[in-house]
Structure formats: C-alpha cells, structure tokens
C-alpha cells in the first residue's frame, strides 16, 4: 500500500508540514509505503484553462497537459497510490496559492466531450477503494473551526468525482500558540489519522 501526503504550506518546516509527516508516519506504522510532497518545492505552473487535457486522449488514464513542469510525474504517482493526506494552512479563508495551483492542475485526471454540459468526469473511477484524510491549520481558535471549511471543500472536491472517501478532516487552530502539551496531542491525533486511513483502505479492499 502506498500513501501520499500533499502539503500545501510554503513553510516546509512549519507545523502543517510536521502534522503531514506525522500522519504519514501513522500510515507507515501499518505497513504503508509513504511519500510527502512539499508542493512549494515542485515546479507547478498555473493552469491556463485551455481544456486540452480533458477534451483529448480520452483513452488515457491521465490527460496530456501542454504545460511542461513536474505535474505529469506527480499525477502518475498520484494515480498509482492507494490513499492520500492533503494538508494546508488557511490563507485568507482558503488554501494557499501553491495548493490551489496543484489542485487546478489535477484537471488531466478528468475528461469531457467538447460542447457537452455538466462537469468533467473522472477518467479512472476508484469505486471508493481509495481513501483520503484532510488537515488544515490556522491562527483562529478551534472554536472557529468553520473557518477551515473552504479549505476542506477545495482539497476534497475532486475526490467526490473520483469516488474517493474522506476518512478524517482535522482543523488545528491557534497555530502560532501551540505549547508542548498541545503539540504532542496534535501529533498523536495526526498519527492516528494515518493509522485509520490505512485501516479504512484495508476494509474497503475486503468489502467490509
């Protein structure tokens, strides 16, 4: 089993990055192979909305984007993985630009007949055998967890079309005031998220 973590904070050594790593460590404890993508370190161009990736090559599992950067390789690994951790800080009530760019460039995972109505459909349906978990961090307190809802919606929107269930979503508030006790609690919580993610994937494979 392979679990990928996509971390959307520009700060690669911040708490969002550490929580992502913690969740992946939890998955690894259950035997999963894991990999963390700190997205800011990758060359990801902005989507131009040309629709070439969705209108053409419908026989391919991943459409061909005319932009040349790291996304083609990332999407190949994405498609081959069994589960995902998506993690992002709250920037101005949504995800940072680097995470949004990555999500927009997942468009080649979908297809559409030119001129047809409605949203594009997934090229490869996962039949709910794959799972994902979401983490959002912010400066507002936990009582304002609703501030992270736009982040969760952005990070999970494509999963609905691909037929990938969300196992957990966690908001960690007061990110600039995390003492040692709370830090340990959240590291334990994110670690457990990774464990549950693998367990839920295993259950889905067994048809439970």
Model confidence pLDDT, tens digit, residues 95-127: 999 999 999 999 999 999 998 998 899 999 999
Query: Count of domains in the chain?
Result: 1
Which 8-state DSSP code applies to residue 47? Answer: P
Is the CA virtual torsion 139, 149, 109, 55 positive or negative? Answer: negative
- The CA radius of gyration of the chain, in Å to the nearest whole number, is 17
Q: Rounded to whole angstroms, how far apart are CA atoms 88 and 168?
A: 14
Say what the pLDDT of residue 140 is. 87
Q: pLDDT higher for 167 or 118?
A: 167
Summarised one tens digit per residue, pLDDT across range 67-91 is 999 999 999 999 999 999 999 999 9
pLDDT tier for residue 179 given thresholds of 50, 70 and 90: confident
Is residue 172 within 8 Å of residue 87, measured between CB atoms? Answer: no
Q: Is 5 helix (H, G, I), strand (E, B) or coil?
A: strand
Say what the pLDDT of residue 207 is. 83
* Residue whose tokens read 């693998």: 198
Say what the pLDDT of residue 142 is. 83
Q: Which helix (H) or strand (E) holds 38?
A: strand 33-38
Q: Which CATH number covers residue 43? A: 3.40.50.360
Is residue 109 within 8 Å of residue 29, measured between CB atoms? Answer: no
Say what the pLDDT of residue 40 is. 97
Q: Rounded to whole angstroms, how far apart are CA atoms 178 and 184?
A: 9
Say what the pLDDT of residue 147 is. 87
Domain with 178 in it: 2-206
């Amino acid at each position: 089993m392979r679990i990928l973590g996509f971390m959307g904070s520009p700060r690669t050594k911040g708490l969002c990055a550490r929580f992502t790593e913690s969740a992946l460590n939890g998955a690894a404890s259950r035997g999963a192979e894991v990999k963390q993508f700190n997205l800011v370190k990758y060359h990801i161009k902005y989507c131009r909305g040309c629709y070439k990736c969705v209108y053409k090559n419908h026989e391919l599992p991943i459409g061909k984007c005319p932009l040349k950067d790291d996304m083609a390789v990332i999407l190949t690994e994405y498609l081959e993985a069994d589960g995902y951790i998506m993690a992002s800080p709250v920037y101005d009530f949504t995800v940072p630009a680097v995470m949004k760019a990555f999500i927009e460039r997942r468009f080649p995972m979908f297809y559409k007949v030119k001129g047809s109505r409605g949203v594009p459909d997934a090229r490869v349906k996962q039949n709910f055998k794959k799972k994902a978990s979401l983490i959002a961090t912010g400066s507002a307190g936990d009582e304002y967890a609703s501030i992270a809802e736009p982040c969760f919606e952005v990070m999970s929107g494509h999963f609905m079309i691909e037929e990938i269930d969300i196992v957990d979503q966690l908001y960690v508030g007061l990110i600039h005031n995390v003492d040692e006790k709370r830090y340990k609690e959240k590291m334990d919580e994110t670690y457990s998220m990774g464990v549950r993610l693998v367990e839920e994937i295993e259950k889905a494979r067994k048809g439970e």
